[in-house]
Structure 1
Amino acid sequence: MSRKLTRSLLYWLFLSPLVVVILFPFGVMFVTAIRPRDEIFTYPPTWGFSEFRWTNFSEMWVKTNFGGALMNSIYVSVLATAIALLLAIPAAYAMSRYRFAGKGLYRNFLLMTQMMSPIVLVLGLFRLMMAMGLVNDLNSLVVTYAAFNLAFTIWMLQSYFNSIPRDLEEAAWIDGASHLTSLVRIFLPLAVPAMVVAAIFTFINSWNEFVLALTLMRSSEDFTLPVQIYAQVAGRYQVEWHHVMAGTVLATVPVAIVFSWLQRYLIRGMALGAVK
């Protein structure tokens, strides 16, 4: 028992610098969010302060239209994730279970799309959305985010689908089940961990995306959270840093909740080589 305890202490000792580096920005962000405004720029900087100003969050919510930006981000991220999964599941299943002409070329095409940064396509996407009349429309972000995350989702799901034995589907076919029935009742329930992992990554990518949202959204009422927080800093004579940090803290809460809630699926889904 003492040897196990000593080993655990050594592990934590080696990991502690990494933990400090990771948690330090979050600590600064939270302390600034609850610190009184007059004590933000004290020198030398300290972790202590005179009182907890929880009203910073309510003031920020009213002054920065945080609620509207939060709903916009939820709408865009959830819908983009749903569309990406709906399109990726049949594509990944076909790549995993069937042989067809151009399959290798299609796989290489998906891989090449992952090497291209969205920033390179900003101008083209803006002109495309302008021609379609979708500039300053949240649906343009939904379509764009789903498209950019589709290749990654297909690759991840296909890798997991390959690990599911074909015998399970063939047994269902022998019992009289159709291909669609075996897919829905046998195959997809086994692939839930991979689908959850793909959904988490797609949701986080859509939630945190900034460049496309800044380019395509013109009205402050349609800003997502990253753009709304940026608007509190850019082009202002005086920045209310306690409001900026309070908004940043609240912007990280939904992602942290989703990640914690689905953590067990995330761990299972990352082991894509496991045989069921």
Structure 2
Amino acid sequence: MSLSLKTKRSLWCWLALSPLVVVVLFPFAVMLFTALKPASEIFVYPARWLPVHWQWSNFVDMWKAANFGVALRNSTVISLLSTLLALAVSLPSAYALARFPFRGRGLYRQFLLVTQMLSPILLVVGLFRLAAMIPYGDGNLVDSKIGVIVSYAAFNIAFAVWMLSSYFQTVPRDLEEAAWLEGCGRTRAVFKVFLPLAVPAIVVTAIFTFINAWNEFAVVYTLIRSPENKTLTVQVTDMVAGKYVVEWHLVMAATLCATLPVSVVFAWLQRYLVKGLALGGVK
């Protein structure tokens, strides 16, 4: 039975994409197989890709040794709250930048783009001194989740405003004006008409902001001291840094488990990602 044209096209597409799929999945395969090996099978010659003895208990040992549950909770809370805070500030700013003309608007957009060239690692010393000067509770913002959340939100606001304003300019102004003629005020028209149309762009911005906060290392490594406040990036690094003997099977298990949540979120929201990027590029 002959294949349909659509099936043949799909097969050719997957065949063309197969090298890219192999390159993307190769690190995950290495992490998985190493995480399932006993310690005695990791450094052997000749090297073996697949473990001889599949040791699933490595994930249980890693969870206890790395205090993984606490670090996972901290990363989730910090990433979510910093994303919400960044969006809360960026949405009205991007709307004003897209809808209200004012002097220096183009220069301000260029300034937002230039700020993305600065790496957070260049600012960690000043950020640490600033956090040490701000009172919080019985001490200051050093070794507190609030300091990390505010820092992550501050680093992502410029990117979020720049990305959202580019998309907001593609939403027709006529839709809001029609809502005004029907009796809606400006604020109600924004919530009832404008924001529902901007959901793809908001989701795309939230994805990138969440991933940036989840993967960030320099700021949290500088501000956080106590083990109960450490995130996954710092906790996995502590399993390697300063160790005379590194348990690579546990490190790979922790790295794999730290990568999976972001991968799942990215795959779940990819339809918004594609739609937001496609519509945001149309002027």
In structure 2, the residue matched to 1:185 is 192
2-structure distance, mates of 1:52, 1:228: 25
1-structure distance, mates of 2:51, 2:256: 18
1-structure distance, mates of 2:281, 2:27: 35
Does the Cα contact within 8 Å between 2:36 and 2:51 map onto a contact in 1?
no
1-structure distance, mates of 2:23, 2:104: 47
Does the Cα contact within 8 Å between 2:163 and 2:205 map onto a contact in 1?
yes
2-structure distance, mates of 1:258, 1:20: 21
Q: What's the TM-score, normalizing by structure 2?
A: 0.92
Per-residue CA deviations over 1:94-132 (Å, capped at 9, x if unaligned) read: 011111233233222212211111111111111111111
- For the residue of structure 2 that corresponds to 1:265, the secondary structure is helix
2-structure distance, mates of 1:134, 1:172: 45
- Residue 24 (structure 1) shift: 1.3
Per-residue CA deviations over 1:194-245 (Å, capped at 9, x if unaligned) read: 0000000000000000111111111122111011000000001111111111
> Percent same amino acid at aligned positions?
57
1-structure distance, mates of 2:5, 2:206: 41
1:217 paired residue among 224, 236, 242: 224
In structure 1, the residue matched to 2:23 is 21
- Residue 5 (structure 1) shift: 5.8
2-structure distance, mates of 1:103, 1:7: 46
1-structure distance, mates of 2:70, 2:7: 50
Q: What's the TM-score, normalizing by structure 1?
A: 0.94
Shift in alpha-carbon separation, 1:94–1:54, aligned structure 2, 3 A: same
- For the residue of structure 2 that corresponds to 1:235, the secondary structure is coil
- For the residue of structure 1 that corresponds to 2:48, the secondary structure is coil
1-structure distance, mates of 2:9, 2:190: 46
2-structure distance, mates of 1:139, 1:131: 14
Q: Which structure 2 segments of 5+ residues have no match?
A: 135-139
- For the residue of structure 2 that corresponds to 1:49, the secondary structure is coil
Q: Which structure 1 segments of 5+ residues have no match?
A: none
| Greater CA drift, 172-181 or 20-29 | 20-29
Question: What count of residue pairs does the alignment treat as equivalent?
Answer: 275
Does the Cα contact within 8 Å between 2:33 and 2:49 map onto a contact in 1?
yes
In structure 2, the residue matched to 1:231 is 238
* Alignment pair present for 1:252 and 2:259: yes
- Please tell me the residue identity of whatever aligns with 1:62: K
- Residue 8 (structure 1) shift: 4.9
- Residue 69 (structure 1) shift: 0.5
2-structure distance, mates of 1:176, 1:18: 53
